[in-house]
Chain A
Amino acid sequence: MMRKLADIGLNEMQVEMADLASRFCTEKSPIEQVRALLNDKQGYSESVWSEIVALGLTGIAVSSEFGGSGLGLAEVAPVVEHMGRTLMAGPYSDTILAAHIINSVASEDQKQSYLPQICAGRTCALGLSEPHGDWGLGKITTQASPSKSGYVLSGEKRLVSFADAADFILVTVVQDGVPALVILDRKDIPGAALRRENIIDETVRSYSLNLNGLTINTDALMVSTHMPDALNALHLAANLLNAAVMVGGTKAVLDLTIDYANTRIQFGRPIGAYQAVKHPLVDAWIGYEKARALLYSAAHSFSTEAEIAVRMARVKAETAFAFAADRAIQFHGATGFTHDCDAGLYRRRALYCASRYGDAAYQKHKLANLLFS
């Protein structure tokens, strides 16, 4: 049996975005800056964010009637890939994803209200994960119950990235027995409701959000008859961007290790001369090139036959990044074991990315059902 799998291609806007993002991220996110931000409360630079906004990057995937440039996630992928290469952290991906689902399920008024603000640089965090830890976005226990002035919420969200500094937080809820979205204004959330989580990737600021007793107006609720499909689409979009981060990270950590293998001398030769070192590096590079092919295939086909392509890219990006970053630590020797070695930043990033939106085993289970049914 032959089955047609997704093709690959690249449009001119993707090339432009990749060039722009490559220059921008290299300049704005050198490793010293990444390290300086590790201990910063907010975790990203406000001035760099302003430049991201000024470049129009927050509106890439928003339609022009709301102030965006009317492109799609295919053009976002190269931007996120380069952010991944330089370990640039911040609310970019989640804000893009929030805009994506708002555009698909919100009312006209809500779109008019939020999308132009997002294009203009307001950030939106995503509250999708819950204490049960199930990766399926449709499994929601947070409730929105009718109250006098609108709704009252109950439940808890976890792993809400950059929530403290966000302008809005978009959370999934169940309302009247069906999934819905609630958009919260950060100003309306009491400080005690947010608790900073200690997570493995030190470049990310992550929070638990206690929603119990929080009241919202009716216009903060987004309901749609195709919410389940929209949540599936959000899940795939999140996986696409996560794959892009990981592909970028794989390339960077591989380059880092190759540089070290070329300069570290032991027994009179650079350690990269030893086949025990050079052969695994070749395997890591092959994994990277395969992951990159799958990423751009998924980006290319995102609007049409996305699911198989995205999940494949997600699997390979995770395994390639894990292997390259794991070997990076080992090949740096005792230096690799120190917190000062950049290999650790990438390995921690890889572990964090693997934990989000379904790991490789989870994706392969889904793929088996799609491919063998």
Chain B
Amino acid sequence: MTKPTKQELKEYTADADAWFSEHTPRDVGFMLPLTFMEVGTDQQFDFLRAWQRKQYEAGYLGAHWPKEYGGGGLHPKFQAVASTVMQKHNVPITLNAIGTNWAGPLLLDIGSEAHKKKYIKGILSAEDIWCQGFSEPDNGSDLGGLKLRAERDGNNYILNGSKIWTTLGAHAKYMILLARSDPDPKSKYAGMSFILTPMDAPGISTKKIKKITGEHGFTQTFFENANIPADGLVGAEGQGWRVAMQLLEYERGARAGQAGGIIMQTPDAFAIVDLARSAIRDGKPAIDDPVLRDKLVDFIIEIHAQNLNQIRAKIPGLNSEHPAGLMLMNKLVFSEQAREISQFAMTLLGENSAWYVDETNAPDGGLWARSYLNAFSATIGGGTSEIQHNILAEHVLGLPKDNIRVDA
């Protein structure tokens, strides 16, 4: 594929800019989620599904994915431009993120021809919603301890066990499932298989879990002698851990190939400045308080620095001495930042922070309270902040693993 000329990119950018200026939904009349993990109501789900389809049909999702499977067939630079334009217009998030950003690129890289033909287009159009089956009730951060059993039966697998914290579990058509295919493996991480699982197979059921926000959004998923076709196997049987680790690299931004789009909106630091302007303390705007000003400046510096890190990661010579580091730290930094900012926003609201979603008195419809509570979905889900610290320490800084022994 030839690299696009500056002129071609310029024209594409202008087209995308015009399209998103015209079509980006504003003031939809209800609160939109900031991440795909926060989709809590059918109203939000239906809206975001239609929005993703519209972006895809306009050519702005998977623009660089192969045409024969449903992508746009363009050079990756075009999708990068489109995603930047989306960021600029602060567009609503991409609903089917597990498909577009994790499962999709994985299948394009190591899936079979049949997988690509069957799944890619539905991922992009949000026709087929995807969910992820990694965590189990007894195995969260310690993913390697998972127990869900996948027993080979001719051309099928028989699944028994349960998965939990399944985002969009009640809506999903497919799950990327990590299961134990060998009940007696040589080591903890051996004997797992990575299987694309149809959620409508008999024996699979979901139970909604109510979140701390009071909304629904994810499920526990039960497998009782669920019989699924074995052609959903990705990679070889028993090699599931390796496939799962590759998937996590897409998830953490350490490997490229994602369909693009916005999967997480980050709070705008200047939005809390506006809150500080309108909040009154002892008859004066809170923004006149030197302590609050100091804190606000800190937030703006932290957010701006991390935004600059995104840009410099693409500039050789300005990237980190640990090239993957700037991307690997994103999950930790952005999720903790979002939590801290929404928490600080609550303190700025003062007495008004007592009101919650659906209360007519609540400022911004209770946005900040809900954002704070929802922020934990990102600081815990996908590897807790504590696990992220371990990953960065071990994979970026080169520090030893926790369980190393030198005296044994």
Q: Which residues of A contact B (CB under 8 A)?
A: 1-3, 5, 7-10, 14-15, 18, 251, 258, 261-262, 265, 268-270, 272-275, 278-279, 281-283, 285-286, 289-294, 296-297, 312, 315-316, 361, 364-365, 367-368, 371-372
Contact = CB atoms under 8 A, between A and B. Distances in A.
Nearest to A270: B400
Interface in B281-326: 287, 290, 293-294, 296-298, 300-302, 304-306, 308-309, 311-312, 315, 317-318, 320-321, 325-326
A294 B393 contact: no
Contacts of A18: 317
A272 B399 CA distance: 6
Interface stretch (B77-85, B266-274, B358-366): B266-274
B404 interface: yes
B390 A9 contact: no
Contact of A1 (B274, B309, B326, B401): B274
A359 to B, nearest CB: 12
Interface in B135-178: none
B317 A10 contact: yes
B14 to A, nearest CB: 20
B287 A372 contact: yes
A315 B305 CA distance: 11
Nearest to A268: B407
A14 B320 CA distance: 16
B312 A371 contact: no
A289 B406 contact: no
11 contacts: A1-B274, A2-B270, A258-B398, A273-B404, A282-B393, A282-B397, A289-B329, A315-B298, A361-B294, A367-B301, A372-B293
Nearest to A315: B301
Given A275-B389, A372-B293, A7 B300 contact: no
Interface string B377-408: 00000000010011011101111111111111
B333 interface: yes
Contacts of A265: 406-407
The 7 closest A-B pairs by CB, nearest first: A290-B305, A268-B407, A293-B308, A278-B393, A272-B399, A368-B293, A279-B389
Contacts of A286: 329, 332-333, 392
- Pick from B287, B317, B386 the residue with the most CB of A within 10 Å: B317
Contacts of B309: 289-290, 293
A285 B287 contact: no
Interface of B: 268, 270-271, 273-274, 277, 287, 290, 293-294, 296-298, 300-302, 304-306, 308-309, 311-312, 315, 317-318, 320-321, 325-326, 329, 332-333, 386, 389-390, 392-394, 396-408
A283 B385 CA distance: 11
Given A367-B300, A371-B296, 6 more contacts: A5-B304, A268-B406, A275-B389, A279-B386, A312-B305, A316-B301
A165 B396 CA distance: 43
A1 B273 contact: yes
Given A1-B274, A294-B305, A294-B308, A368 B297 contact: yes
Contacts of A279: 386, 389-390, 393
A300 to B, nearest CB: 9
Contacts of A278: 389-390, 393-394, 397, 399
Contacts of A283: 389
A278 B396 CA distance: 11
Given A258-B397, A269-B400, A275-B402, A8 B273 contact: no
B399 A2 contact: no
B37 to A, nearest CB: 23
A10 B318 contact: yes
B334 to A, nearest CB: 11
Contacts of A261: 399
Contacts of A285: 325, 392, 396-397
Given A275-B386, A278-B399, A290-B306, A296 B296 contact: no
B404 A270 contact: yes
Contacts of B407: 265, 268-269
A365 B290 contact: yes
B301 A294 contact: yes
B305 A282 contact: no
Contact of B400 (A1, A5, A9, A262): A262
Contacts of A292: 320
A53 B290 CA distance: 45
Nearest to B393: A278
Contact of A269 (B297, B318, B405): B405
A273 B398 CA distance: 10
A286 B154 CA distance: 50
A316 B300 CA distance: 11
Contacts of A289: 309, 320, 325-326, 329
B390 A270 contact: no
Contacts of B274: 1
A258 B277 CA distance: 43
Contact of A282 (B290, B300, B301, B392): B392
A316 B393 contact: no
Contacts of A2: 268, 270
Contacts of A262: 398-400
Nearest to B294: A364
A293 B312 contact: yes
Question: In this complex, which of A5, A265, A289, A291 has the most chain B Cβ atoms within 10 angstroms of its Cβ?
Answer: A289
A367 B329 CA distance: 27
Contacts of A361: 294
Contact of A365 (B294, B403, B408): B294
Contacts of B298: 315, 364
Contacts of B394: 278
B162 to A, nearest CB: 29
Given A269-B405, A312-B301, A365-B294, A8 B312 contact: yes
A279 B268 CA distance: 27
A368 B394 CA distance: 38
Contacts of A297: 308
A281 B273 contact: no
Contacts of B311: 7-8
Contacts of A15: 317
Nearest to B270: A1
Nearest to A283: B389
A202 to B, nearest CB: 28
